[in-house]
Structure formats: C-alpha cells, structure tokens
Copies of this chain bind each other. A is one copy, B any other.
Amino acid sequence: MKRRHSEFLCPKFQAAMEILSRPWNGLIMATLEGGGTLRFSELRERLDAMGDRMLSERLKELEASGLIQRRVSAGPPVRVEYELTEIGHGFRDVLNAIGRWGERITTAAKPRKRA
C-alpha cells in the first residue's frame, strides 16, 4: 500500500495488488478463509514448501495491513492463533474470481511457443 505504480490504474486496485503480488499472501489468506482459526503449525502444515521464517514474516505483514488477526490465549499451554479480520474475509470474492479464472487458464489449450 506504499506506492502507486501507475497513474493509469485505479489506486485501490494497486493497493490490493501490492498485497497479492507478494509470494504466499494469496495462499495464506485462502487457507485461513477455508480453515477458519488456525495455529501457526497448522498453517505451516497446509502450505507445503513454505519456510517458518517466510510464513512468520507474511503473517506479520498481513496483520499490519489489517487483514488477519493474531490471538494469543492464556495458557498453559499458550495458544497463538490466526484468523481473517472482517476486511480479510472480503477476500472471499477475490478468491472466487481468481478460482474461476484459474479454471479458464488451466483448461485452455497449451500456449504456442514464441516465434
């Protein structure tokens, strides 16, 4: 949400793309949308090939953007859980649109090689 990259594009679209164009952010949000409240280890388990450190950084960013919420419940044992905020849940419509588009992409004929 820091920069505008083009004066020809809607600033709100650019703000949203700033979040989505970072690796894993879309997948993390989709995982929380589908899974509800999840612990770090549960998120980690559902996102193959994603390292702990990367997940931790992304969660901090998404929290700072107001899209997810981190909750710590008094222990023992202390539980740290993550869930989407109300704004974060608004991602559902984007998720569905991306899913439908993904369907068209993956069922399309193989692309031609560049001449």
Contact = CB atoms under 8 A, between A and B. Distances in A.
A37 interface: no
Contacts of A24: 5, 21
A36 interface: no
* Count of this chain's copies in the oligomeric assembly: 2
A7 B45 CA distance: 10
Interface string A21-35: 111111100110011
A6 B35 CA distance: 13
B25 A21 contact: yes
A93 B5 CA distance: 21
Interface of A: 1, 3-17, 19-27, 30-31, 34-35, 46-50, 60, 63-67, 70, 87, 90-91, 93-106, 108-112, 114
26 contacts: A5-B27, A5-B47, A5-B48, A5-B49, A6-B46, A7-B48, A9-B46, A10-B99, A11-B102, A12-B102, A12-B106, A13-B99, A14-B27, A17-B20, A17-B27, A17-B98, A21-B22, A65-B105, A66-B109, A66-B112, A90-B105, A94-B97, A94-B98, A94-B101, A96-B97, A97-B97
